[in-house]
Chain A
Amino acid sequence: MYIIVVGAGKVGWNLARELLEKDHEVTMIESDRRRYLTVEQELEHNVSYGDASELWVLERAGIQRADMVIAVTGDDEDNILICQVAKEKYAVDQIIARVNNPRNKPHFDLLGVKPSVSATDLILRLLEHEVPEYGLVHLLDLQEEQLEIIEMLLGKDCGVTGRRVGDLAMPDGSLLISVLRDGKGFVPGPDTVLETGDEVLAVLDPGKEDELKAIFGSGSGSGNGAG
């Protein structure tokens, strides 16, 4: 793949390095002359100097043939516009934008810049993931596809341990997609028997969380343990 990475900060530089190691063709664009010279010592012709919010700089980097544009500058407006132009003017298939200030996230969505990645959000997700009391962890929103993926940790008192997956009254519009047990993951079948400590991933239509919660009785609280 040909990937353009905009912004040679810590995120951009390391990203470019990893992408190059994976044998992708990469051009990184950096607008600060001093930073550019530093990075250029390592990445050589894979880094280009210029302000990527200017169209000719993007064109010089070959945006017309890029498969992916990743904007990870420290400026949200820049990231939004670079991705917007990549997608709408140059018809780049895939764009990824970094959100520096989570409050700007709605602007990214409004202007059609998706997906966008916010470090603050990722840390929050991780926090939720690492703190099992949270019960039901929202892993991914597939907004376009109108789907959500959630994770549930099956506690001792939850209503489904010891039961066959096939016997569960799963709500319409939901599906168990994997079970993590003792560090290994597998796709459950109807005969899979759920155990305490299983981490279960489910994909569901938005708004089905509560129904699923009722069946799995997730969360450390015992009050909502139905099923």
Chain B
Amino acid sequence: MLHEGHEVSCLDEDPESHARLEVGLDKAWEDLGGRFTVGAGLETDALVAAGIEQADAFIASTDGDNTNIVISQIAQRRYEVPTVIARILDPLRAEWYQRQGLHTICPTRVAIDMLEEAVRDGSERVH
């Protein structure tokens, strides 16, 4: 998204993650206009430091479903970010929170669909 000219700010508990952001980039993350904040997503100070108050879109994609669901609701209700997306691995909860008005992406669901598709394609080729 940085390459498309958007301003992107990452918040992560692990300072090492900054290095991962720069893999495959020819310049430093900051030189390309990126921002990086070390902190926990539940800490409002960290969210504000990462610029949540100015954000047009907020993506919660930590490795914990519960953290993502809580933070994305905070982004929605407290900071009124116009576009909020939460990564939820658990398909049942992804579906329910989607119905509650949270935009959810369920990688498990996506993977299941792709796998099903691949199996169908494979069996068609055999027959």
Interface residues of A, Cβ cutoff 8 Å to B: 53-56, 75-78, 80-81, 85, 88-89, 103-104, 106-107, 110-111
**Are A111 and B73 interface neighbours, CB within 8 A?**
yes
Chain A residues with CB under 8 Å of B70's CB are 77, 80-81, 107, 111
Q: Chain A: interface secondary structure?
A: helix
Contact of A53 among B66, B73, B78 (CB under 8 A): B66
Shortest C-beta distance, B47 to chain A (Å), equals: 11
Interface residues of B, Cβ cutoff 8 Å to A: 42-44, 64-67, 69-70, 73-74, 77-78, 90, 92-93, 96, 100
Contact of B77 among A55, A89, A111 (CB under 8 A): A111
A55→B94 CA distance, assembly (Å): 11
**Are B92 and A104 interface neighbours, CB within 8 A?**
no
Q: Which residue of A lies closest to B92 (CB)?
A: A55
Q: Which residue of A lies closest to B99 (CB)?
A: A89
**Are B42 and A76 interface neighbours, CB within 8 A?**
yes
**Are B74 and A81 interface neighbours, CB within 8 A?**
no
**Are A110 and B66 interface neighbours, CB within 8 A?**
no
Chain B residues with CB under 8 Å of A104's CB are 42
Contact of B90 among A54, A103, A110 (CB under 8 A): A54
**Are B100 and A88 interface neighbours, CB within 8 A?**
yes
Chain A residues with CB under 8 Å of B65's CB are 53
A89→B96 CA distance, assembly (Å): 8
Q: Which residue of B lies closest to A101 (CB)?
A: B42
Chain A residues with CB under 8 Å of B69's CB are 77, 81
A106→B43 CA distance, assembly (Å): 11
Chain A residues with CB under 8 Å of B67's CB are 77
A110→B75 CA distance, assembly (Å): 11
Q: List 26 A-B contacts (CB under 8 A).
A: A53-B65, A53-B66, A54-B90, A54-B92, A54-B93, A55-B90, A55-B92, A55-B96, A76-B42, A77-B64, A77-B66, A77-B70, A80-B66, A81-B66, A81-B70, A88-B100, A89-B96, A103-B43, A104-B42, A107-B42, A110-B73, A110-B77, A110-B78, A111-B70, A111-B74, A111-B77
